[in-house]
Amino acid sequence: IRYRFPKDFWWGSATSATQIEGAADKDGKGKNIWDHWYQTEPNRFFNGVGPGTTSRFYDRYQEDIQRMKEIGHNSFRLSISWSRMIPAGRGEVNQKAVYFYNRVIDELLSAGIEPFVNLYHFDMPLEMQKIGGWTSREVVDAYVDYAATCFRLFGDRVKKWFTHNEPVVPVEGGYLYDFHYPNEVDFQKAVQVGYHTILASAKAIQAYREQQQDGKIGIIISLTPSYPRSRHPADLKASKIADTFFNRSFLDPSIKGEFPTELVDILKEEGYMPKMEKKDLDTIRQHTIDLLGVNYYQPRRVKAKEHLPNPEAPFMPDRFFDSYEMPGRKMNRYRGWEIYEKGIYDILINLKENYDNIECFISENGMGVEDEERFRDENGIIQDDYRIEFIQEHLKWVHQAIQEGCNVKGYHLWTFMDNWSWCNAYKNRYGLVSVHLEKDGERSIKKSGQWMKRVSEQNGF
Ligand code: BGP
């Protein structure tokens, strides 16, 4: 074994409730924004396939957990669906949801798999969106109550909690670039949403500690390391601003308890400061995370702006930089994302050097590929060698970072089994296990799943 990982390394995968559970209107679940958006605009992104059509983990979790065990997982990330737990977002708790999540947690534990539980994965309850979603302070309070309820109900067995997955995505998708509900373009709202998410995270952490829970609590952030086109000062500056907007605006408050001054200066100067209450900044300062989840898919390539921004156009972060397509870059052409393995190492080194070497793990990394059925061999196994190579090349860099002292505790792949996705339904498949939708969701372990089994059993490759 050439690449050996530290003892007790977390090997597993990540999922989210909306993407795998199905049972979208079963057993008292309330609607969330995805159920609603699909109902009102089924062909916008979803190719006519909505969040009701998933691998049906809700009904099939027992066999799926057995499969996780079979491929060597010692840990697994799921999210709790807020609108399943508390259908209206606040108020009454749905006992059938409590029963379901209890069963999943217990089943995981008895299979020797540690549950990592995330509280918010893009799935705002519709009733909460109606009063403004994350733009609303009331929603922050409702979220904190929901979080506290989950800690109380499941905290005896769940010891790794996360307040949000990728808080930048609802900001970008919902309020800047139009790919998440409510698909508005409004920089002021975007700032408010980002701010409230961080505040909600700090308040949930506070609630967790007030309950004297003995696990760890953190946040999952997608990091897109920013690389300038050249060492020219204008390119360097553009890259730094992009990094501040998309990475540091969530990393800094989560770990250091404060927003980057560069960001605050821009917001002040441009007149976009969020609405805040007096004690908020103290709350954010006092309740920082124990553990960081890093999602990494792609880098951000940046150059100085070539043309002055149109002053009439709505204010956007990219009025400070242009994106840049590096010649010769490696692409995942299905998703349109660049593949740059060393990015994962650069992220980890940055955390070591600038964020106190916070305890972290790779909470998502993965490769979506279209039409994988064409790779199914005569034994029914999908020969996804490209995925094995993708994982392996990233793991080499994670290994290197560990050799250099980075505090990395695990690697979770996106994702366990092929799932429904926000903007392309089932077009791209990411799983270690395939899900055959035409054959009633039949599962089969891909070659990458068998490979992951060996990697986790040998703790390396
Ligand atoms: C991350 C999300 C996941 C997942 C993944 C793949 O940003 O946390 O929910 O969907 O990206 O992206 P996609 O499904 O859009 O290809």
Q: Whose CA is nearest to atom 10 of ligand 1?
A: 421
Residue 110 has pLDDT above 90, yes or no: yes
Q: Is 162 in the pocket of ligand 1 (CB under 6 A)?
A: no
Q: How confident is the model at residue 87, as a pLDDT?
A: 98
CA–CA distance, 429 with 414 (Å, rounded to integer): 10
Cα–ligand 1 centroid distance for 282 (angstroms): 33
Q: Whose CA is nearest to atom 4 of ligand 1?
A: 421
Q: Is 166 in the pocket of ligand 1 (CB under 6 A)?
A: yes
Q: Is 239 in the pocket of ligand 1 (CB under 6 A)?
A: no
Q: Which residue has the higher pLDDT, 424 or 193?
A: 193
Angle at which helix 187-210 crosses helix 168-175, to 10 degrees, equals 150
Q: Whose CA is nearest to atom 5 of ligand 1?
A: 414
Q: Is 34 in the pocket of ligand 1 (CB under 6 A)?
A: no
What's the angle, vertex CA 67, arms to CA 3 and CA 86, rounded to 5?
110
Residues 6+ apart with CB under 8 A from 377: 383
Q: How confident is the model at residue 45, as a pLDDT?
A: 78
Q: How confident is the model at residue 409, as a pLDDT?
A: 98
Q: How confident is the model at residue 109, as a pLDDT?
A: 98
H helix or E strand, kind and range, residue 447: helix 447-458
- Contact predicate 215/300, CB 8 Å: no
Cα–ligand 1 centroid distance for 104 (angstroms): 22
To test the pocket of ligand 1, the residue of 364, 412, 418 to mutate (highest count of ligand atoms within 8 Å of its CB) is 364
Predicted confidence (pLDDT) per residue in 330-375, tens digit = 999 999 999 999 999 999 999 999 999 999 999 999 999 999 999 9
Q: Is 422 in the pocket of ligand 1 (CB under 6 A)?
A: yes
Cα–ligand 1 centroid distance for 453 (angstroms): 23
Q: How confident is the model at residue 412, as a pLDDT?
A: 99
Output the CA–CA distances (angstroms, integers) from residue 56 to 252, 404, 453, in the order listed: 37, 42, 23
Is the pTM value of this prediction over 0.80?
yes
Radius of gyration of the chain measured on its C-alpha atoms? 21
Dihedral of CA 333/335/337/339: which sign?
negative
Cα–ligand 1 centroid distance for 309 (angstroms): 30
Cα–ligand 1 centroid distance for 83 (angstroms): 20
Q: How confident is the model at residue 309, as a pLDDT?
A: 87
Neighbours of 31 (CB within 10 A): 18
CA–CA distance, 287 with 307 (Å, rounded to integer): 42
Neighbours of 348 (CB within 10 A): 26
Q: Is 13 in the pocket of ligand 1 (CB under 6 A)?
A: no
Which residue do the tokens 């070591």 mark? 352
Ligand 1 atom at shortest distance from the alpha carbon of 366:
6
Bridge pairing between strands 442-445 and 291-295: unpaired
Q: How confident is the model at residue 48, as a pLDDT?
A: 82
Phi and psi (nearest 5°) for 83?
-75, -10
Q: How confident is the model at residue 278, as a pLDDT?
A: 95
Q: Is 368 in the pocket of ligand 1 (CB under 6 A)?
A: yes
To test the pocket of ligand 1, the residue of 421, 429, 430 to mutate (highest count of ligand atoms within 8 Å of its CB) is 421
What average pLDDT does the segment 206-221 reach? 98
- Contact predicate 24/60, CB 8 Å: no
Predicted confidence (pLDDT) per residue in 146-185, tens digit = 999 999 999 999 999 999 999 999 999 999 998 999 999 9
Q: How confident is the model at residue 452, as a pLDDT?
A: 98
| Percentage with pLDDT > 70 across the chain | 100
DSSP state of 42: T
- Contact predicate 291/359, CB 8 Å: yes
Q: How confident is the model at residue 43 (pLDDT cuts 50, 70, 90)?
A: confident
User: What value does the mean pLDDT of the chain take?
Assistant: 97
| Percentage with pLDDT > 90 across the chain | 94
Whether 364 is catalytic is yes
Q: Whose CA is nearest to atom 12 of ligand 1?
A: 421
Beta bridge partners of 10: 410
Q: Is 222 in the pocket of ligand 1 (CB under 6 A)?
A: yes
H helix or E strand, kind and range, residue 382: none
- Contact predicate 408/361, CB 8 Å: yes
CATH says 10-458 is which class? alpha beta
Cα–ligand 1 centroid distance for 180 (angstroms): 12
Residue 125 has pLDDT above 90, yes or no: yes
Estimate to the nearest angstrom the gap between the alpha carbon of 72 and the chain centroid: 22
CA–CA distance, 332 with 367 (Å, rounded to integer): 8
Q: How confident is the model at residue 52, as a pLDDT?
A: 87
- Count how many Cα atoms sit within 13 Å of the Cα of residue 199 in the half-sphere of its side chain: 24
What average pLDDT does the segment 233-254 reach? 98
Q: How confident is the model at residue 44, as a pLDDT?
A: 82
Residue 54 has pLDDT above 90, yes or no: no
Q: Is 421 in the pocket of ligand 1 (CB under 6 A)?
A: yes
- Count how many Cα atoms sit within 13 Å of the Cα of residue 121 in the half-sphere of its side chain: 24
3-state helix, strand, coil in the chain (%, to 5): 40, 15, 40
Longest dimension (CA), the chain: 65
DSSP state of 46: S
Q: Closest Cα partner for 160 from 238, 105, 235, 107?
A: 105
ipTM above 0.90, yes or no: yes
Residue 46 has pLDDT above 90, yes or no: no
Catalytic residue among 63, 364, 404, 442: 364
- Contact predicate 142/89, CB 8 Å: yes
Burial of 142 (0-12, 13-18, 19+ CB in 10 A): buried
Residue 377 has pLDDT above 90, yes or no: yes
